[in-house]
Amino acid sequence: MLNLFFLSILQLLYVLALAPLAVGILHVFDERLSSRRGPSIFQEYYNLFKFFRKQSIYPKTASGFFSYVPYITFGMYLFLTLVLPIITAFPLLFGPVVDFVGGGLVFGAASTFLKLASLDSRNSYSILGASRASSIGIFTEPIILLIFIMFGVISGTNNPYVINNILQTSTNWFFSLVHLFVGVAFFLVLIIETGQLPIESHTPNEFGSIDSLMSLEYSGRELALLKWGSYIKSFLLMNVFLNVFTLPFFVPMKFNILAIVLYMFINFLKIILLLAIFAIINNVVSKYRLFKIFDYILIAFSFALMAMVVFYVVNGG
């Protein structure tokens, strides 16, 4: 019991500390692939420190809700780090609080709060960002739900830890077509949720306006918390993709301190591999027009639905 508590704190600190580093490394990869030098990999830490030292200003037309939302969403993201399998494959102290569907709903709740706050700020660009994010988010929800249902079909439960165990141990399920299609669908959704190209771009040349506009009115400590929260969200989603879906190897299934510490490094290496893939994709494709994003979402949905058809066809009747 005390071990689990200690491990929970360790996991929390791991995510808090390394999430900005991950995003920094992604930016550096991007810039290096474009033959530029790019910032240092610790640039996001410097940004966060800068924002924490500054004073927060609130717009005159915003209510009190506007100032509380960053703390609420940050708290939700911290809560999610305690329930997802990041450095262990067995549930930690707070593991049984939510399962996969609950986790998805908490992600959704956090982004809803952010959208409501951006509406509250009465800035037209924030409202634009909120409406775009809503219209895309509403279409990615069914895909995520389908993916979780398919994983429930595979493993019989909705528990991310059990799914990890099954995929780690059973080669039959790992190499099955259902797993492949669901993995591809989740990868496509991951691109949408973390805001990579071809959905949204962050380079100085293009102005991506889906996720970055919503926090336009924030400053100071709230802005730091919002940014940190979004880094943690990206880090968590990438971890879920790697640990549960794609490369669920080496995650320690029993309590062994050495294995867990070793796995913290391996996990970060896996994250760097995924960031390299993202950087390559960012430099190969160009940003989609806004109306083509919905066709892209439909393709992701096709993969998820085809996984269900595959399950019925291959496993007979």
Residues binding other proteins (CB under 8 A)? 177, 181, 294-295, 298-299, 301-303, 305-306, 309-310, 312-314, 316-317
Which lies closer to other proteins via its Cβ, residue 280 or residue 298?
298
Which lies closer to other proteins via its Cβ, residue 6 or residue 312?
312
Instruction: Say how far apart CA 248 and CA 240 lie, in whole Å.
Output: 10
In the complex, the smallest distance separating the C-beta of residue 302 from other proteins, rounded to whole angstroms, is 5
Which lies closer to other proteins via its Cβ, residue 71 or residue 296?
296
Which lies closer to other proteins via its Cβ, residue 68 or residue 312?
312
Q: What is the separation of C-alpha 130 from the centre of its chain, rounded to a whole number of angstroms? A: 18
Distances from the Cα of 72 to the Cαs of 16, 68, 101, 246, 287, in angstroms? 16, 6, 20, 31, 32
| Exposed / middle / buried, residue 94 (Cβ in 10 Å: 0-12, 13-18, 19+) | middle
In the complex, the smallest distance separating the C-beta of residue 198 from other proteins, rounded to whole angstroms, is 13
Which lies closer to other proteins via its Cβ, residue 116 or residue 284?
284
Instruction: Say how far apart CA 81 and CA 41 lie, in whole Å.
Output: 23
In the complex, the smallest distance separating the C-beta of residue 316 from other proteins, rounded to whole angstroms, is 5
Instruction: Say how far apart CA 17 and CA 20 lie, in whole Å.
Output: 7
Q: What is the separation of C-alpha 105 from the centre of its chain, rounded to a whole number of angstroms? A: 13
